[in-house]
Amino acid sequence: MIEKVGLRTPNDGGKSMTNIPKWKFDVVRAAILAQLAEGPCKMKDLTEAIRPRIDPAALEKLGKLGWHMMGVKLELEMRGEIRRQDGVKPQTMELAR
């Protein structure tokens, strides 16, 4: 049986959930956190910024990177690991302090 991780969204208070394989969550989470460790990143640039941080073989098996990045990003916001910068447009993500 494949271990799964639930992805919640802050937009509905975490009520709805989508499950993805844990390995996919771990790969995308590590890439997002590594990217944001270098400083804030505009939301629109985040998918392409993390692409080179993911092993090509994992990237091929992952599926749509943009979809996975968004789901994992929202879950990381729910967990308090990352946050949106207040008052910054366009939306910019950073590590939570």
State how far the Cα of 41 lies from the Cα of 21, in Å rounded to an integer: 26
The CATH number that applies at residue 34 is 1.10.10
| Percent above pLDDT 90 for the chain | 88
Q: Give residue-wise pLDDT tens across range 20-37.
A: 999 999 999 999 999 999
The number of domains in the chain is 1
Question: What domain range includes position 42?
Answer: 4-9+17-95
Looking at beta carbons, which pairs linking 82-88 to residues 24 or more positions away fall under 8 Å? 82/32, 82/33, 82/36, 85/40
In the prediction, which pLDDT does 97 show? 78
* DSSP structure string for 13-49: TT-SEEEEEHHHHHHHHHHHHHHHHTS-EEHHHHHHH
Q: 3-class SS at 55?
A: coil
Q: Give residue-wise pLDDT tens across range 39-81.
A: 999 999 999 999 999 999 999 999 999 999 999 999 999 999 9
This model's pTM is above 0.85: yes
State how far the Cα of 84 lies from the Cα of 20, in Å rounded to an integer: 23
